[in-house]
């Protein structure tokens, strides 16, 4: 049972004045009330796809049919797929394969490239005079000369082909009959051994996939014809594929993953109409709903993040082009043959990203609500059980269905003449079979309860039921505690507290009767005052009852109990502790979980694992971005104080701004953790196992070359000053959950503990994949572990086993989790601070798991 989730939705007022309804029926223009001729104090800016474009060209059918949808700024799409190769494999490592466990074979979502490319690719820079910045038209102009160029790949700026050209210029004409000169300059070669070949291979694959009648949305291809309509919820699910080709241990492999895009059928205009109909202050309501949302514009298949709404601009306002001023209405009619219906709707603002600015686009991007479709899911949608259930029937594919879809994708690619022509022209052949690889299943872990009783985990990796027969490994009796509850809900709260006392008794833990503070109302100030009164009596823990999930109240309570009046707190809602009668059967189970959680917050240990190493500190670090301020992030560190002889933890969290390096904060917090360890044990830890979460492939270079080196230098300094001349023995492991790799055992999910450390791993890394969970629906996702520093003195086998052991120690759930527990704790802490507290918690709580 989690503490109250922090992603509960905002409550929204639903005032329905007659004037709003009547005006909404007559069109938005009457509500927005700005004349099209009204002067603007600042100059209107063009829409996104008109920025830096020297001409407005209507789509020709030939161009549209042959052009590959590209970035209007001429950037290289393919470069997103293959980032810089970071060599993190330690020098002198003989093998990264383990030996423990039972050997098995698994099937993966990879296809092998049967023919390794043996070509030399000529690379050319392509420029247009006069300048044409829209990639679609650049590609269209170049395609007119396909007979001369032969087979080629063009990403909008760079042209790749296997032919060496003698000419340097080509001439074509635009729609106005003006000459366009295409300048082609040879800039280099891509040999088969170069890493850049994978950029070319991915571009080739994407070109081959275009022949499958798939639609490019953002970075991936989706099958719009196979879309699944959930009309009751105004949502469509588009099935698609996420693909990547790269060099693995000994072969070039294509990883293909089945994905789904949630496409909402409502536009921003629909959201605006609802705001006008349902609220008194529709401008603020509309802003609240769309700020931060990602929207899709169908006319150019691009996504934009919404940063503001300009109610002073409308589609009749004009912006400047090479051919003179033009209104948004005229522009979209001329460019896309789109008629904008409501001329008085506001314009939505998207600020240019850093990438936009690097590409020369530094102006605001203006979007018309009618033409922008909302994407993604709102908190209200996520909280809609019926919607999530309806979606899961299509998105949570069991292994057999996923394998079937992957084979269908391969067959579809192989049976398309256009697709095969693309691949064959470059001498590429793709295997039809999924790759089979060796794997191992690690031995099941033993969970240790009170009185040293042990439970051997089964394939479910869940020991919830064992608490009915066993006491917790160690517990803290709760003798002084407060329960703060609204007066009108006192009876339900008392009933639940009795269940908690009974559940604790069954686990040999004593919970005394609490003191109740019956508050007259549930205002934030009332909760704050009650917390102050309770803390004055020095309680061990405070339980607070909310009528319903409410982010604002939760934030107020956590700020008070974590910063102003530091005390462990347990927040519960009436929906959880007093459900309707038909759902009350599992109430004892909920009470048991709440007791386990409160015990963990008070430094008790609900269970333990068998750990042969003494003096081991495991550390988790994760980063969470603030939803309220996109420029702020919070990095949290959680460390164990040697689980073999202590069940204490140390935690710390720091705020950092966007672009700021984490090296200083990470090493400073590690210094505090080592100080806490030495105060508790009298010595420094013998070994440190550091798990770093929240790292994308693009950040790996910085982590390897900056964070680890800085941290290692600082730790060696501390250890040498303590008389340990060899310095600190540490393994630094990057943990990645958002990966596309999947593997299966006999068309079923692999059991927890299944490790893969060969074939699909990367030659430049010391890495392995581990499935640590069991799932009831869908396909289980493995976690990738990349050891980027290692002088801990343990074999690959032992590092794999230790990583698996640590997934059993997350006290919020009596089962394994996807990542080592310290990573999950760090995520929980960073998320709490980023979403609810927005400031550093009191140091008085740093040794407690108060954030569970």
Which residues are known catalytic residues? 622, 693
Distance of CA 739 to the CA centre of its chain: 10
**608 vs 24: CA distance, rounded Å:** 61
CA distance between the termini of the chain: 10
Query: How many Cα neighbours within 13 Å face the side chain of 137?
Result: 25
Of the candidates 626, 630, 648, which has an alpha carbon nearest to the alpha carbon of residue 639? 648
SS (H, E, C) 164-220: CCCCCEEEEECCCCCEEEEEEEEEEEECCCCCCHHHHHHHHHHHHHHCCCCEEECCE
Length of the chain equals 852
Residue 301: C-alpha distances to residues 215, 222, 350, 372 (Å): 9, 12, 16, 10
Look at residue 542 and give its three-state secondary structure.
strand
Q: What are phi and psi of 239, to 5 degrees?
A: -75, 145
Of the candidates 134, 130, 127, 132, which has an alpha carbon nearest to the alpha carbon of residue 47? 134
Pairing between strand 730-736 and 687-692? parallel
Please, are residues 440 and 102 in contact by the beta-carbon 8 Å criterion?
Answer: yes
Q: Which residues of 364-377 are buried (b: 16+ CB within 10 A; e: fewer)?
A: bbbbbbbbbbbbeb
Strand partners, 573: 546
Tokens of 497: 């507290």
Element (H, E) at 667: helix 663-681
Q: What are phi and psi of 297, to 5 degrees?
A: -105, 115
DSSP state of 563: I
**332 vs 792: CA distance, rounded Å:** 62
Peptide bond preceding 120 in cis form (omega within 30 of 0) = no
In this structure, the dihedral spanned by the alpha carbons of residues 805, 811, 815 and 817, taken in order and rounded to 10 degrees, is -60
Strand partners, 294: 305
Please, are residues 545 and 493 in contact by the beta-carbon 8 Å criterion?
Answer: yes
Query: How many Cα neighbours within 13 Å face the side chain of 545?
Result: 28
Exposed, middle or buried by CB within 10 Å (0-12, 13-18, 19+), for 731?
buried
Look at residue 750 and give its three-state secondary structure.
coil
Q: Which residues make Cβ contacts (< 8 Å) with residue 91, sequence separation at least 6?
A: none
Element (H, E) at 274: helix 268-278
* Greatest CA separation for the chain: 90
Strand partners, 441: 102, 754
**296 vs 152: CA distance, rounded Å:** 30
Of the candidates 636, 787, 631, 763, which has an alpha carbon nearest to the alpha carbon of residue 700? 787
Distance of CA 315 to the CA centre of its chain: 35
Q: What are phi and psi of 499, to 5 degrees?
A: -65, -40
Strand partners, 748: 745
Tokens of 772: 């640590």
Tokens of 19: 């004037």
Strand partners, 732: 690, 789
């Amino acid at each position: 049972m989690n503490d109250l989730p922090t992603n509960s939705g905002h409550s929204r007022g639903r005032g329905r004045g007659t004037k709003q309804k009547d005006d909404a029926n007559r069109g938005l223009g009457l509500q927005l009330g700005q004349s099209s001729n009204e002067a603007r104090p600042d100059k209107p800016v063009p829409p996104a796809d008109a920025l830096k474009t020297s001409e407005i060209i209507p789509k020709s059918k030939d161009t549209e049919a042959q052009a590959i949808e590209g970035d209007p700024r001429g950037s290289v799409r393919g470069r997103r797929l293959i980032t810089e190769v970071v060599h993190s494999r330690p020098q002198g490592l003989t093998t990264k394969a383990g030996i423990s466990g039972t050997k098995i074979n698994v099937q993966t979502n990879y296809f092998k490239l049967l023919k390794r490319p043996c070509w030399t690719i000529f690379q050319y820079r392509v420029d247009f005079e006069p300048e044409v910045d829209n990639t679609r038209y650049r590609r269209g102009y170049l395609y007119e000369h396909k007979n001369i160029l032969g087979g080629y790949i063009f990403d909008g700026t760079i042209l790749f082909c296997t032919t060496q050209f003698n000419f340097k210029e080509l001439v074509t004409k635009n729609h106005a009959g003006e000459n366009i000169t295409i300048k082609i300059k040879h800039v280099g070669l891509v040999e088969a051994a170069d890493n850049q070949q994978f950029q070319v291979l991915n571009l080739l694959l994407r070109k081959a996939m275009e022949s499958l009648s798939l639609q490019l949305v953002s970075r991936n291809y989706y099958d719009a014809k196979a879309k699944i309509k959930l009309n009751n919820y105004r949502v469509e699910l588009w099935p698609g594929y996420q693909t990547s080709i790269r060099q693995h241990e000994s072969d070039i492999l294509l990883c293909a993953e089945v994905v789904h895009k949630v496409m909402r059928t409502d536009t921003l205009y629909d959201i605006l109409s609802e705001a006008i109909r349902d609220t008194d202050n529709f401008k603020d309501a509309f802003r609240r709903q769309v700020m931060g949302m990602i929207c899709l514009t169908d006319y150019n298949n691009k996504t934009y993040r919404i940063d503001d709404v300009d109610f002073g601009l409308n589609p009749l306002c004009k912006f400047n082009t090479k051919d003179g001023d033009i209104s948004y209405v005229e522009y979209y009619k001329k460019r896309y043959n789109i008629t904008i219906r409501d001329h008085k709707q506001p314009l939505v603002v998207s600020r240019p990203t850093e990438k936009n600015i690097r590409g020369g686009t530094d102006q605001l991007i203006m979007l018309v609500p009618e033409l922008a479709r909302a994407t993604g899911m709102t908190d209200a949608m996520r909280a809609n059980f019926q919607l999530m259930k309806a979606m899961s029937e299509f998105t949570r594919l069991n292994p057999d269905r996923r394998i079937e879809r992957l084979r269908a994708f391969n067959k579809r690619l192989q049976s398309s003449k256009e697709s095969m022509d693309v691949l064959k022209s470059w001498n590429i052949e793709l295997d039809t079979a999924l790759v089979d690889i060796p794997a191992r299943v690690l031995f099941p872990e033993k969970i240790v309860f009170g009185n040293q009783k042990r439970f051997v985990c089964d394939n479910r990796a869940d020991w919830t039921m064992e608490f009915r027969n066993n006491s917790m490994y160690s517990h803290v009796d709760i003798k002084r505690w407060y329960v703060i509850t609204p007066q009108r809900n006192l009876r339900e709260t008392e009933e639940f507290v009795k269940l908690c006392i009974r559940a604790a008794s069954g686990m040999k833990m004593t919970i005394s009767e609490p003191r109740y503070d019956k508050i007259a109302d549930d205002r934030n100030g009332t909760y704050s005052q009650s917390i102050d009164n309770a803390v004055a009596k020095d309680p061990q823990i405070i339980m607070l009852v909310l009528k319903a999930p409410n982010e604002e109240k939760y934030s107020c309570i956590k700020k008070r109990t974590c910063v102003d009046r530091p005390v462990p707190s347990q927040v519960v809602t009436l929906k959880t502790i007093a459900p309707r009668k038909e759902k009350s059967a599992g109430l004892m189970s909920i009470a048991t979980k709440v007791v386990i959680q409160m015990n963990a917050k008070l430094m008790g240990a609900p269970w333990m694992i068998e750990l042969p190493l003494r003096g081991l500190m495991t550390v988790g670090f994760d980063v969470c971005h603030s939803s309220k301020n996109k420029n702020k992030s919070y990095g949290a560190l959680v460390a164990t104080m040697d689980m073999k002889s202590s069940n204490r933890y140390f935690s710390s969290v720091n705020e950092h701004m966007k672009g700021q390096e984490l090296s200083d904060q990470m090493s400073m917090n590690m210094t505090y953790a080592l100080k806490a360890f030495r105060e508790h044990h009298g010595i420094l830890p013998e070994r440190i196992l550091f798990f770093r979460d929240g790292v994308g492939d693009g950040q790996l270079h910085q982590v390897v070359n900056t964070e680890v080196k800085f941290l290692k230098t600082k730790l060696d300094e501390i250890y040498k000053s303590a008389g340990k001349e060899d310095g600190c023995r540490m393994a630094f492991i990057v943990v990645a959950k958002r990966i596309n790799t999947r593997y299966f055992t006999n068309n079923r999910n692999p059991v927890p503990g299944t490790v893969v450390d060969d074939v699909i791993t990367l030659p430049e890394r010391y890495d392995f994949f581990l499935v640590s969970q069991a799932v009831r629906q869908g396909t289980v996702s493995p976690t990738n572990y990349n050891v980027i520093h290692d002088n801990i003195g343990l074999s690959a086998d032992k590092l794999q086993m230790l990583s698996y052991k640590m997934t059993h120690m997350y006290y919020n759930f009596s089962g394994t989790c996807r990542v080592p527990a310290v990573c999950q704790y760090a995520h929980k802490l960073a998320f709490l601070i980023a979403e609810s507290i927005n400031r550093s918690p009191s140091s008085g709580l740093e040794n407690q798991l108060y954030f569970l």
